[in-house]
Structures are given as C-alpha cells and as structure tokens.
Structure 1
Amino acid sequence: PLSQVSDPVFASESMGKGAAVEPTEGAIYAPCDGEVTLVANTGHALGMMSDAGCEVLLHIGIDTVELKGAPFTAHVNAGDHVKAGQLLMEADLDQIKAAGKAATTMVIVTNSDDFKSIEGTSGAVVAGASLVKLSK
C-alpha cells in the first residue's frame, strides 16, 4: 500500500492515490496504454496519460533524483505512445541500493479526484497484470 512507503509525500497520497512496488528486477513496464508525457532528465520519474484519461506518475525509488540519472536508462521519450506491458525504463537496482536509496517504485494516479475509487492490488506483481483498479 502507498500508505506504507517511507517517503511521507507519497504515503500521505498528497500527489494522488496509487500503489507501490518493491522491484525484484530493474525493468519498469507501462501500466497501461497511453502517451508518455514526461521522462525526467534524471530518469527517476516518468509521466503518462492513459488512453482512458488517467494521469499516471511512475516514480522509481525514494530520493533517487539525487543520483542524477546514473542508474536509469530510458527506452521511451515524451510523446511516444506505449502499450501496457511495454518496457519504459531500466533501473540498476544494485546501484540504487549501494547509494543507500530505496528502490520502492510508486505508481500514482495524479488526477485521483477524477475517479470514484482507486484501489491498489496486493501481492506479487508481474508485467501486464493490473496493479491499480479505477472506477469512475
């Protein structure tokens, strides 16, 4: 649950509701079909607008902006249209952890107020599986 993330900004859901993942591999996949709206120059964050009108922020790690892009490799650019399950980014989890940072990855619906409910799933997550369920 997002409420259990060690960063108080994400845990408070002030940026939106969603879910968090403790990654076991460094591949970050698209959670939905949509357009990439932002790839942070530091690689630690990526924004999307889903085809269904959901604004999604993928934030890789906690305080990883301080790593200035070193552990991240983007495979998409702003303006690209992607499909759910498509590789977006790779992150060197060992490098993140060696820097003393958590690799916890947040998936935030930044336009949460547009939805009646947003529920994160629990348990193991695999690419292409639903992580967050939305209802209008």
Structure 2
Amino acid sequence: MFNLFKKKRNEIASPMTGQVIPITEVEDAVFSSKAMGDGFAVQPSEGKVYAPIKGKITSIFPTKHALGLVDEKGLEVLLHIGIDTVELAGNGFDILVQEGAEVDFDTQLATVDLDYLKSKNKPTTTMVIWTNGESATLDIKTGQYTAKTVIGEVK
C-alpha cells in the first residue's frame, strides 16, 4: 500500500551484449563531456540492438546509426550506434522498428554488422543518452552484461 507514494523510477537495460561503461569513458568528446546529455555506453560483442527503456520510438535517423526514444516519464533518449557511423550512410545497419512503435526491453530495434564498422575504422561503442534529462538522476551499474539485462534506473 505504501508503494503508491514512492516516486516512480524507470528501469534501464543494456541495449546490447557487451561491456557497459560510464559515458565519460567514451572516446568521443561530444559524448564523454556530456555535451549531448548524461548516459552510458556499451562496448558491444554482438550486433543485436534492443530498447534500453520502455517507451516509444520518436525518430529513426536516415543513416540508421541512431534512434530517438521517449520513456514513460517523457525523458528523451538518443541511442547512437558507433562513433562517426553517420559517415557510413546506413551501410552495416538494419532497422527493425518504425517511428511510433511502442517498445520494451524485449524489442529488438536493429542489427549492426560490427565487423563492417571495424573494417571502416569506426568504433562500435554504442551510447544511450538522456537528451532532456537535466532533472533526471541516472543510477547505472557498469560491467559485462547481456542485452536486455536491467542495469539501473532513472529517477
């Protein structure tokens, strides 16, 4: 009964299997400086990409390297696959959802050919950024995780 009065917290899952790292360790200053917002990153070992939040797809970049989502609290999330991957013009990416789709941790959003990215000298590090989360507090646990595993929450 008292749970009704607790502040709602939204869980966050790793979108890919791999090593979850702090955003400050990403090898790109735009992300590591938190210029786009706070978040975390995954150094993936597999190319399947799942939703890191429960929410809705708000945008899919034409170059397929990034997707916009909004969670149940209205916080906007940018899922950015790889670094400098916009230059690949969609090659190596296959998007499996459409704008407006409702998603949860079991929703596969995309596949990415990690070997292709590496062959083009593009880091595969994938970022999850809260772009309008100035008032949000992220509590993320770093380490090795499989995709869809809850790794923290946003308060």
Q: TM-score, with normalisation over the residues of structure 1?
A: 0.93
Specify the alignment match of 1:130 in structure 2: 150
Letter aligned with residue 61 of structure 2: A
Aligned residues: 134
Specify the alignment match of 2:82 in structure 1: 61
Greater share of strand residues, 1 or 2? 2
Task: Judge conservation of contact 1:112–1:118 (CA < 8 Å) in 2.
Answer: no
Q: Following TM superposition, by how much is the alpha carbon of 1:56 offset from its aligned partner in structure 2, in angstroms?
A: 0.8
Distance 1:79 1:114 in 2: 25
> Once the two structures are superposed, what CA deviation does each residue of 1:64-118 show, in whole Å capped at 9, x if it has no partner?
0000000000000111111223100100000000000100000111112131x21
Corresponding residue SS for 2:118: helix
**Residue 13 of structure 1, aligned match among 31, 34, 41:** 34
* Ranges in structure 2 where 5+ consecutive residues have no aligned partner: 1-21
Q: 1:60 to 1:119 in 2, by over 3 A?
A: same
Q: TM-score, with normalisation over the residues of structure 2?
A: 0.82
Q: 1:19 to 1:56 in 2, by over 3 A?
A: same
Specify the alignment match of 1:84 in structure 2: 105
Corresponding residue SS for 1:96: helix
Specify the alignment match of 1:44 in structure 2: 65
Percent pairwise identity = 43
* Ranges in structure 1 where 5+ consecutive residues have no aligned partner: none
Segment of structure 1 superposing worse, 103-112 or 50-59: 50-59
Q: Following TM superposition, by how much is the alpha carbon of 1:131 offset from its aligned partner in structure 2, in angstroms?
A: 3.4
> Once the two structures are superposed, what CA deviation does each residue of 1:19-69 show, in whole Å capped at 9, x if it has no partner?
010000001100121110011110100010112322111000000000000
Work out which of the two has the higher radius of gyration on C-alpha atoms and give 1 or 2.
Answer: 2
- Structure 1's consecutive aligned runs of 4 or more residues displaced over 4 angstroms after TM superposition are none
Alignment RMSD (CA, Å): 1.1
